[in-house]
Amino acid sequence: MIDQNGSQRLDPNTIMLWRMQRLVRLMVVTIPMLIALGIASATTIPAAVAIVVVGTLVAMNVVFTLFWPALEYNAFRYVVREHDLLVQHGVLFRRWSSVPHNRIQHVDTRQGPLERMFGLSRLMIFTAAGSLADASIPGLRTEVAEHLRDELSRRGGDDGV
């Protein structure tokens, strides 16, 4: 939907950031869980089968973790237009959002430990519509994120509530 010329992309480091974030999650949560499952099911199915199944699942997860972020990065576009902010993302489930400036209630920048290592920040945009962020832009250079945050939160107007 967003044309290629006018749009902005995320910082390229985001790919690496996402890979690392997901690898950490994989190591801490997914793989231990799969292994536990394998051990638990070893009593009902032959151990060899369990090992093969768990092994494939882990391998698939790792591959997925390494390749998916690049696709996601390619799919992500955003534009700050005169009266609204457009964000488009999603590899399989495409999502395009338009948030008018005057409807923005507040804008957050957030930064986890890994993001700090890369010097990146997440920008989250909230309207009166709900508790979840209506649009969020992960992986912006911290300066860019802060600049955007200040710019977006400054524009006032009727919030329609």
Partner 1 sequence: MGSDEDEKKDEDNPDTQTDVIIRANIEAELPTEEAPRPIPADIDDSPTRPIPRPQKAPVSSTVKPPFTQEQTLGAFLEDEEPSQTIGVHLEEEPSMTLGVHLEEEPSMTLGVHLEEEPSMTLGVHLEPVDPKSNRLPVDSLGSIHDAETVITSDTPWFGLHPTSLIVNLIPRAWSTIRSMWPILLFVVVSGQGVGMRFVDLLVILMFALMSVWNTFIHWATLRYRIHQGRLEIKQGLLNRQARTIDPERIQNIELVQNLFHTWSGLVELRIDTAGEQTTEGLLSALSVEEATELRAHLAELGSLSHSKGEDGDEGEVIVEMGISEILAFGLTQRTIGTVAVITAIGLEVMTQAGPEVAADFTVNMQPTMVIAAFMLAFVASWAVSALTSLFRYFGYKMLSLADVIRTEQGLTTRRRVEIPLSKVQIVRADEPLLRRIMGYGTILIETAGLGFVDGEQRQAEGMVPMVDYPDLGRVTSTAAPHAKVDPWTAKLNPAHPRSLYRSIFGATVRAAILIGFGMALFGPYRWVILAILPIAWVGAWLDWKKQGWLVTPSAIVSRRGFFNRRTFIISRDKLQSVHRVQGPFMRLHGLSQMVVCVAGSRVPLPETGVQDTDWLVQELSRAPT
Which residues of this protein are in contact with partner 1, per CB under 8 A?
1, 82-84, 86, 90, 92-100, 103, 127-131, 134-135, 158, 160-161
CB 94 within 8 A of CB 17: no
Query: What is the number of other CB atoms lying within 10 angstroms of the CB of residue 32?
Result: 11
| Residue found by looking up tokens 């999502």 in the block | 95
Question: Would you say 1 or 48 has its CB closer to partner 1?
Answer: 1
**Least Cβ distance, residue 77 to partner 1 (angstroms):** 13
**Least Cβ distance, residue 25 to partner 1 (angstroms):** 24
Question: Would you say 7 or 97 has its CB closer to partner 1?
Answer: 97
The three-state secondary structure class of 134 is: coil
How far is Cα 36 from Cα 31, in angstroms, rounded to an integer? 8
**Least Cβ distance, residue 97 to partner 1 (angstroms):** 5
CB 121 within 8 A of CB 142: yes
**Least Cβ distance, residue 115 to partner 1 (angstroms):** 25
